[in-house]
Amino acid sequence: MARLPRLVVPNQPHHIIQRGNDKQTIFRDTEDYTSFLAWLKEAARHFKLAVHAYALLPDHLHVLVTPADDAGLGKMMQWIGRHYVPYFNSKYQRTGTLWQGRYRATVIDSEQYFLLCSRYIESHPVRAGLAASPEDYPWTSIAHHIGVKPDPLITDHPVYWALGNTPFDREASYKSLLDLGISQREAEVVTEATLKGWPLGSEKFKAALAKQVNRRVEPAKRGRPRRTDSDPKTSTSP
């Protein structure tokens, strides 16, 4: 069965995962991280995407973005690759691809999953054993969300703004949510949806989305279609 085209829905958040080929390192030093973030900022501005959260790990990355149209997300990732990969290959005297195939992405139900996905991204270095707490890892958007340091790359989502009436209230509320941690099951749900490309949201959200984009947004049910008495191939009539 042919693979469905990547689902991109304007004005909805999308979680992106991009991995290094064969789990190889894609960020080796501070310059690599800062260069990638600079290109991410430029590409997001140029292709009209709002970046809400990110985490750059040595062998892969996560980004939470909202595109303004159905083409910007793909163009942004392609543009970043055209700049970062030649930079990385030239710097480390290597050739060939850097990424493990296509980036993975899924549409996020803002109401139910935006804050979970944001916390999933910013706490990922802890789950990967790279830091004792999210605040200890420098290459995520956590410092912005808890009020340590503003990040010009980040555009706060309305769901984040709804956490409080003042910046202090929002930062404190988000920090409290972050301190609750992410369960293994919650992490698995976000990871699986993103890697498979199926929307992450309530049944109501997915039903509305399927109607909006006029396509299937969930895996097809396995097995043969259920037979009915009206099916001429299965009728027992003489």
Q: What is the pLDDT of residue 4?
A: 64
* pLDDT of the residue at 217: 80
pLDDT value of residue 225: 53
Residue found by looking up tokens 């944001």 in the block? 118
Q: Is 4 within the bounds of a domain?
A: no
| Domain span at 139 | 14-198
Q: Is 204 within the bounds of a domain?
A: no
Q: Is residue 9 part of a domain?
A: no
Low-confidence stretches of the chain (pLDDT beneath 50): 1-2, 233-238
Q: How far apart are CA 140 and CA 153, in angstroms?
A: 11
Q: Which of 62, 166, 167, 70 is nearest to 117 (CA)?
A: 62
- The answer as to whether 221 is a domain residue is no
Over residues 126-144, the pLDDT tens digits come to 999 999 999 999 999 999 9
Angle of helix 72-91 relative to helix 30-47, nearest 10 degrees, comes to 150
Asked, for residue 118, whether it belongs to a domain, the answer is: yes
CATH (domain of 76): 3.30.70.1290
Task: Name the DSSP class of 163.
Answer: T
Structural domains counted in the chain: 1
Residue 169 lies in a domain: yes
Q: What is the pLDDT of residues 197-225, one digit of tens each?
A: 899 998 998 888 888 888 888 776 665 55
pLDDT for residue 216:
81
Q: What is the residue whose two structure tokens read 């069965």?
A: 1
Is the residue at 42 inside a domain?
Answer: yes
